[in-house]
């Protein structure tokens, strides 16, 4: 038996009685590859860990985002999300996430300038978007449009060149609002509005979305700031499903556009970024406060899920949800109150006092209230996941950059535990 006080783990293989000592690093982490030495015979493959859905597997060391799910803490590069939402702009936050430090004024001016001057998209992409059906889902269009950017910037394949990577990141952050706005105008059958360089990131986006019949569009500053805050809150969330997708595709050294298109496809799922859309549909279906008790019964009977509740990491109130709830109050003061908010508030109150939700640590997540704000800002539900994807591209790109700079990373390739048939002889079709 190894002596106590060492930063190691002793494993005894009861099949052989052999004892192994494995290093512990970063407080509570062992390397899965250290298990490989545990074998019954010399030619065994060695021990593996089995972890469907990566519930207890760290796939990287990261310096981007810190989450303490038990305490409800979220920090980008060490800065608490509450302070960034209160004091920073989205582009300032984006710079922080990508570069690791808050920008100086001149760095910020340069970054804002660069993003502003890359907002236009090639006219062929406008035509590509135009070729979709009138009712095509906005996320399907966006996933395709982002993948298509790869063909317009073939130099993006030079993924090992830091300068080339940076210019693609600028392009992506700059073009996402343009693609999103053109997608929205396509659904509405409206002519596209081209980017305006003198507007802020979010004001330009609102202008491209909503300007109609006037030369100048002046978004309400409260709504412009609310959207900026929502963008800050959604900018990164460490190794979630879409960030992992970005890293997995990126590990094959694919270019950032196709990698990000895959990440966006993951985000589109209703258990991930599609949840904000699902919340709105759920609230509409519930329809009135009187129907909440029967809805809750249905959730408890596992007929459906309470969308916008629960999180793989947070086992406390999602800190983003608290900020969004406050932002919603400011938005509703401008736009007028939304009936669905009353249903959401009552639903939250009941759920937080129900044993089913309390015992499973199910609290509102970022998506529970964000959809209500998006709706108040005038967005149709199909645009909700797109509004998540625009800021999240920053996090995906930061994760991608970190992956490419990480000497420990290789092409992602999990193992499996094979449960299929053993070898069998082929049977001709007329003999089956
Ligand atoms: N409604 C009802 N029951 C739930 C919910 C929910 N929203 N979420 C989890 N549970 C139950 C689940 O049935 C299970 O119960 P039991 O142990 O008795 O079988 C238990 O809670 C644990 O759930 P899980 O599915 O094992 O947890 P997970 O970590 O795999 O799933 C989740 C996390 C976010 C997918 C899940 O909570 C969920 O489906 N929530 C609704 C969708 C949603 O709001 N997604 C947005 C997530 S935040 C934004 C983002 O990151 O994209």
Mean pLDDT, all residues of the chain:
95
According to the model, what pLDDT value does residue 217 have? Answer: 87
According to the model, what pLDDT value does residue 338 have? Answer: 79
Element (H, E) at 116: helix 105-116
pLDDT in tens, 209-232: 999 999 888 899 999 999 999 999
Kindly state the tokens that stand for 208.
């491209």
C-beta of residue 247 within 8 angstroms of C-beta of residue 59: yes
According to the model, what pLDDT value does residue 305 have? Answer: 93
Rg over CA atoms, the chain:
24
Cβ(219) to ligand 1 under 6 A? no
Lowest average pLDDT, out of 160-169, 202-211, 310-319, goes to: 310-319
Sign of torsion, CA 188 233 53 353? Answer: negative
pLDDT in tens, 232-247: 999 999 999 999 999 9
CA 242 to ligand 1: nearest atom: 52
Above 90 in pLDDT, residue 26?
yes
Cβ(103) to ligand 1 under 6 A? no
According to the model, what pLDDT value does residue 127 have? Answer: 96
Cα 362 to middle of ligand 1, angstroms: 8
According to the model, what pLDDT value does residue 307 have? Answer: 94
Cα 410 to middle of ligand 1, angstroms: 31
C-beta of residue 368 within 8 angstroms of C-beta of residue 308: yes
Strand, helix or coil for residue 182? helix
Q: Which residues pair with 22 in a beta bridge?
A: 9
Cα 58 to middle of ligand 1, angstroms: 20
Q: What is the DSSP string of 220-282?
A: -HHHHHHHHHHHHHTS--SS-HHHHHHHHHHHTT--HHHHHHHHHHHHHSTTTTTHHHHHHHH
Measured CA to CA in angstroms, residue 238 lies from 1, 130, 305, 348, 405 at distances of 38, 34, 24, 26, 17
Cβ(263) to ligand 1 under 6 A? no
- C-alpha closest to that of 112 among 179, 174, 204, 203: 174
According to the model, what pLDDT value does residue 312 have? Answer: 87
Which residues 6+ apart lie within 8 Å of 150 measured at CB?
156, 255, 257, 258, 261
Question: What average pLDDT does this structure show over 143-169?
Answer: 98
Question: What average pLDDT does this structure show over 35-42?
Answer: 97
According to the model, what pLDDT value does residue 36 have? Answer: 97
Above 70 in pLDDT, residue 294?
yes
pLDDT in tens, 335-359: 998 789 899 999 999 999 999 999 9
Nearest CA to ligand 1 atom 18: 360
Above 80 in pLDDT, residue 48?
yes
According to the model, what pLDDT value does residue 258 have? Answer: 98
According to the model, what pLDDT value does residue 2 have? Answer: 62
pLDDT in tens, 64-119: 999 999 999 999 999 999 999 999 999 999 999 999 999 999 999 999 999 999 99
């Amino acid at each position: 038996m190894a002596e106590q006080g060492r930063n190691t783990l002793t494993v005894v293989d009861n099949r052989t009685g052999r004892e192994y000592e494995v290093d512990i690093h970063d407080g509570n982490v062992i390397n899965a590859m250290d298990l490989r030495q545990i074998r019954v015979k010399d030619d065994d493959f060695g021990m593996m860990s089995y972890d469907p859905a990566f519930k207890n597997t760290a796939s990287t060391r990261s310096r981007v985002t810190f989450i303490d799910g038990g305490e409800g803490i979220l920090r980008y590069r060490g800065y608490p999300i509450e302070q960034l939402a209160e004091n920073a702009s989205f582009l300032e936050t984006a710079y922080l996430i990508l570069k690791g430090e808050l920008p100086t004024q001149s760095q910020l001016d340069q970054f804002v300038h660069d993003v502003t001057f890359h907002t236009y998209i090639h006219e062929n992409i406008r035509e590509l978007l135009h070729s979709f059906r009138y009712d095509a889902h906005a996320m399907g269009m966006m996933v395709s449009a982002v993948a298509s950017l790869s063909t317009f910037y073939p130099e993006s394949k030079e993924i090992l060149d830091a300068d080339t990577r940076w210019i693609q990141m600028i392009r992506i952050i700059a073009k996402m609002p343009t693609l999103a706005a053109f997608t929205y105008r396509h659904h509405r059958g409206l002519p596209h509005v081209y980017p305006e360089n003198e507007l802020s990131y979010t004001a330009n986006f609102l202008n491209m979305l909503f300007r109609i019949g006037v030369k100048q569009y002046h978004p309400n500053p409260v709504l412009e700031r609310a959207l900026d805050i929502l963008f800050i809150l959604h900018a990164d969330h460490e190794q979630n499903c879409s960030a992992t997708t970005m890293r997995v595709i990126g590990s094959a050294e694919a270019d950032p556009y196709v990698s990000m298109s895959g990440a966006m496809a993951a985000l589109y799922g209703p258990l991930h970024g599609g949840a904000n859309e699902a919340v709105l549909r759920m609230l509409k279906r519930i329809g009135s406060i009187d129907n909440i008790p029967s809805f809750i019964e249905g959730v408890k009977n596992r007929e459906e899920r309470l969308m916008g509740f629960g999180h793989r990491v947070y086992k406390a109130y999602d800190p983003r949800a608290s900020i969004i709830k406050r932002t919603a109050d400011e938005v509703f003061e401008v736009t007028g109150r939304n009936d669905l908010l009353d249903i959401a508030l009552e639903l939250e109150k009941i759920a937080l006092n129900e044993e089913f939700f309390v015992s499973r640590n199910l609290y509102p997540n970022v998506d529970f209230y964000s959809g209500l704000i998006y709706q108040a800002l005038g967005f149709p539900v199909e645009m909700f996941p797109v509004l998540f994807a625009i800021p999240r591209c920053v996090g995906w790109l930061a994760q991608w950059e970190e992956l490419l700079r990480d000497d420990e990373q290789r092409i992602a390739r999990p193992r499996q535990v094979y449960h299929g048939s053993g070898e069998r002889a082929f049977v001709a079709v007329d003999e089956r």
